[in-house]
């Protein structure tokens, strides 16, 4: 072991980029004033995990295994039967996996995890480690959520080495760490929540969990930019990254996989915060469309695919005369630059003029829609507001808008049509290209209108034949 060498490093709190000198601007991610000094004891660091006897001793190593001999058949999963949660993880928590659950403070991370514990706690032994709340607070919340299971144990501790020792002694099946920002490795002189602490604590947890095949769910708070503190640093260590998001004023919450080594990253889970915890929303479209105004200009329903599931959402557009100077543009739930592009196409290719108008776009329900198939509905709500002409109540549109003003085909058109019909829409405006490949007689309950350009689409959306 080398001599104890103390040196000072500067680490970016956003992305983990390191420098031996202080700089004003991080060269990793370009943020200003994010470099923090951390005192490193280089010798101590290398002993941190060997101390608990998990890393293999020098000279002993696992021999290489032939690829065809590696067993992948039954990757064991713990199903919570909280369908929306399982779906996002690709069918349950994989045994021995490390999952990071990120989200704003107060969004409901502790709540959902306690509910997950409740579902699993009669089958598995679970250790709930909290560095944020007292045992009493946890118990009060558990009572409120009607948590009632035999094998759920609570530890309030922040020293990660002690926690690793407890994990080794107790050998649970699942460990919850709430939250990683409160955990602390004593050897490091930096404060809890700093990049080094968060990274080293996660590393230690990973080594402990992987060697004992224990699943770990780590809670990480998100900082103001929507990145988990020391974000990139953590995201590549763990097997899956879930984001829990939603408008705190509104009751629904969306769980989204950002990274998943054991499944797709497209799926979302939808929940609603109620007085007794989070309840699953199995029919998100219905919820998102409830309270939709009837016969008002500037609103159009879109159909977006979230993973394998089509979701309908209302898009509202507002176009008003701007007084003078630069017009205001604002977009919530839809990409701002994409909205500007659509406005440009509407002006240049379809002859709808917005240059003297303030324009606003809002996706109702706090959902973020990034799929190009939503373009047409965004354009429709803007034109509808500009012309002050309401879109037919039973009509819905999907399609991508190209720079030449053409409506381009999108994927999974039939899944979208079926969902629209299921929710009672009887006029569906879609790209002509998609319609060509669809048998109209399969959908006797709806009128399918294939369109090639924006003007045709608007006519179809506003005029009854
Ligand atoms: P919490 O899980 O503590 O958030 P996090 O761990 O992400 O910081 O959730 C806190 C919020 O949830 C709090 O504002 C109260 C609300 N809540 C309910 O509305 N109903 C409930 O049954 C519970 C337990 C919490
Ligand atoms: Mg919490």
Three-state helix/strand/coil letters over 3-60: CCCEEEEEEECCCCCEECCCCCECCCCCCECCEEEEEEEHHHHHHCCHHHCCCCCCCC
For residue 174, what are the CA distances in angstroms to 65, 100, 102? 28, 13, 18
Decide if 206 contacts 166 (C-beta within 8 A): no
Ligand 1: which of 103, 105, 109, 111 to mutate, most ligand atoms within 8 Å of CB? 111
Cα 420–chain centre separation: 25
Which class for 237: exposed (0-12), middle (13-18), buried (19 or more C-beta within 10 A)?
Answer: middle
Ligand 1: which of 100, 105, 106, 137 to mutate, most ligand atoms within 8 Å of CB? 106
Strand blocks (E) in 132-267: 152-156, 174-178, 215-221, 240-245, 252-260
Could you list the pLDDT tens digit for every one of the 465 residues in the chain? 445 567 788 888 777 788 888 898 888 888 888 787 877 766 544 444 455 555 555 556 778 888 888 877 667 899 998 999 999 998 899 999 999 999 888 899 999 999 999 999 889 999 999 999 999 999 999 999 999 888 999 999 999 999 999 999 999 999 999 989 899 999 887 788 888 888 899 999 999 988 999 999 999 988 766 555 555 678 888 999 999 988 777 778 889 898 999 888 878 899 999 888 999 988 888 888 888 898 899 999 999 998 888 999 999 999 999 877 889 999 999 999 999 999 999 999 999 999 889 999 999 887 889 899 999 999 999 999 999 999 999 999 999 999 999 999 999 999 999 999 999 999 999 999 999 999 888 899 899 999 999 999 999 999 987
Question: Does ligand 1 come within 6 angstroms of the Cβ of 248?
Answer: no
> What pLDDT score was predicted for residue 152?
94
Task: For residue 228, list its beta bridge partners.
Answer: 222
DSSP class of residue 294?
A: S
> What pLDDT score was predicted for residue 2?
45
Distance (angstroms) between ligand 1 centre and the Cα of 341 equals 39
Q: Closest ligand to 179 CA?
A: 2
> What pLDDT score was predicted for residue 15?
77
> For residue 226, is it left (φ>0), alpha (ψ between -120 and 50) or beta?
left
267's enclosing H/E stretch is none
Task: For residue 430, list its beta bridge partners.
Answer: 450
Number of H helices, E strands in the chain: 13, 23
Q: Whose CA is nearest to atom 25 of ligand 1?
A: 277
Contacts of 9 (CB under 8 A, 6+ apart): 18, 19, 20, 37, 38, 40
Contacts of 221 (CB under 8 A, 6+ apart): 102, 103, 104, 105, 179, 181, 228, 229
Question: Does ligand 1 come within 6 angstroms of the Cβ of 275?
Answer: yes
Ligand 1: which of 221, 244, 273 to mutate, most ligand atoms within 8 Å of CB? 273
Query: Measured between alpha carbons, how far is 183 from 200 in angstroms, rounded to an integer?
Result: 10
Predicted TM-score (pTM) of the model is 0.78
Cα 407–chain centre separation: 29
- Rounded (5°) CA angle 47-49-50: 60
Question: Does ligand 1 come within 6 angstroms of the Cβ of 236?
Answer: no
For residue 426, what are the CA distances in angstroms to 324, 382, 423, 445, 447? 42, 22, 9, 6, 6
Instruction: Give the distance between the most distant pair of CA atoms in the chain.
Output: 85
Distance (angstroms) between ligand 2 centre and the Cα of 75 equals 30
Query: Measured between alpha carbons, how far is 67 from 418 in angstroms, rounded to an integer?
Result: 43
Give the strands of the sheet with 252-260, arranged side by side: 152-156, 126-130, 174-178, 215-221, 98-103, 240-245, 252-260, 268-274, 277-280
Query: Measured between alpha carbons, how far is 108 from 249 in angstroms, rounded to an integer?
Result: 13
Select from 270, 258, 336, 262 the least CA-distant residue to 100.
258
Question: Does ligand 1 come within 6 angstroms of the Cβ of 181?
Answer: no
Q: Closest ligand to 130 CA?
A: 2
> What pLDDT score was predicted for residue 232?
64
Task: Tabulate helix, strand, coil % of the chain (nearest 5).
Answer: 30, 30, 40
């Amino acid at each position: 072991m080398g001599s104890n060498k103390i040196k000072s490093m500067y680490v970016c709190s956003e992305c983990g980029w390191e420098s031996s000198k202080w700089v004003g601007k991080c060269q990793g991610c370009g943020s200003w004033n994010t470099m923090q000094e951390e005192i490193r004891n280089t010798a101590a660091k290398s002993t941190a995990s060997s101390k608990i006897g998990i890393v293999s001793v020098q000279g002993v190593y696992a021999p290489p295994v032939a690829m065809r001999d590696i067993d992948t058949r039954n990757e064991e999963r713990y199903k919570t039967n909280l369908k929306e949660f399982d779906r996002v993880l690709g069918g349950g928590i994989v045994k021995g996996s490390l999952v990071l659950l990120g989200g704003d403070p107060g969004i409901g991370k502790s709540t959902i995890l306690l509910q997950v514990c409740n579902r699993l706690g009669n089958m598995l032994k679970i250790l709930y480690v909290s560095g944020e709340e007292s045992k009493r607070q946890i118990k009060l919340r558990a009572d409120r959520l009607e948590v009632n299971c035999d094998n759920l144990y609570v530890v309030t501790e922040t020293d990660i080495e002690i926690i690793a020792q407890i994990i080794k002694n107790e050998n649970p099946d699942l460990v919850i760490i709430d939250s990683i920002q409160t955990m602390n490795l004593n050897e490091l002189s930096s404060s809890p929540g700093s990049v080094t602490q968060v990274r080293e604590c996660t590393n230690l947890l990973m080594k402990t969990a992987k060697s004992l095949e224990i699943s770990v769910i780590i809670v990480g708070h998100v900082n103001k930019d929507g990145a988990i503190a020391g974000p990139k640093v953590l995201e590549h260590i763990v097997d899956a990254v879930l984001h829990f998001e939603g408008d705190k004023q509104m009751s629904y919450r969306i769980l989204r996989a950002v990274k998943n080594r054991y499944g797709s990253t497209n799926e979302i889970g939808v929940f609603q915060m109620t007085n007794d915890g989070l309840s699953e929303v199995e029919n998100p479209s219905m919820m998102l469309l409830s309270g939709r105004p009837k016969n008002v200009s500037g609103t159009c329903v879109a159909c977006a695919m979230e993973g394998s599931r089509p979701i309908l959402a209302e898009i509202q557009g507002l176009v008003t005369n701007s007084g003078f100077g630069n017009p205001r543009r604002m977009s919530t739930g839809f990409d701002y630059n994409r909205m500007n592009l659509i406005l440009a196409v509407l002006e240049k290719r379809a002859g709808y003029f917005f240059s003297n108008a303030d324009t606003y776009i809002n996706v109702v329900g706090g959902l973020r829609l990034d799929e190009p198939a939503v373009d047409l509905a965004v354009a429709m709500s803007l034109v509808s507001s500009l012309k002050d002409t309401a879109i037919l109540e039973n009509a819905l549109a999907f399609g991508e808008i190209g720079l030449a003003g053409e409506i381009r085909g999108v994927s999974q058109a039939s899944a979208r049509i079926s969902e629209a019909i299921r929710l009672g829409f009887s006029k569906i405006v879609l790209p002509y290209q998609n319609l060509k490949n669809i048998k109209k007689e399969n959908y006797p309950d709806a009128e399918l209108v294939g369109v090639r350009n924006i003007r045709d689409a608007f006519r179809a959306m506003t005029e009854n034949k």
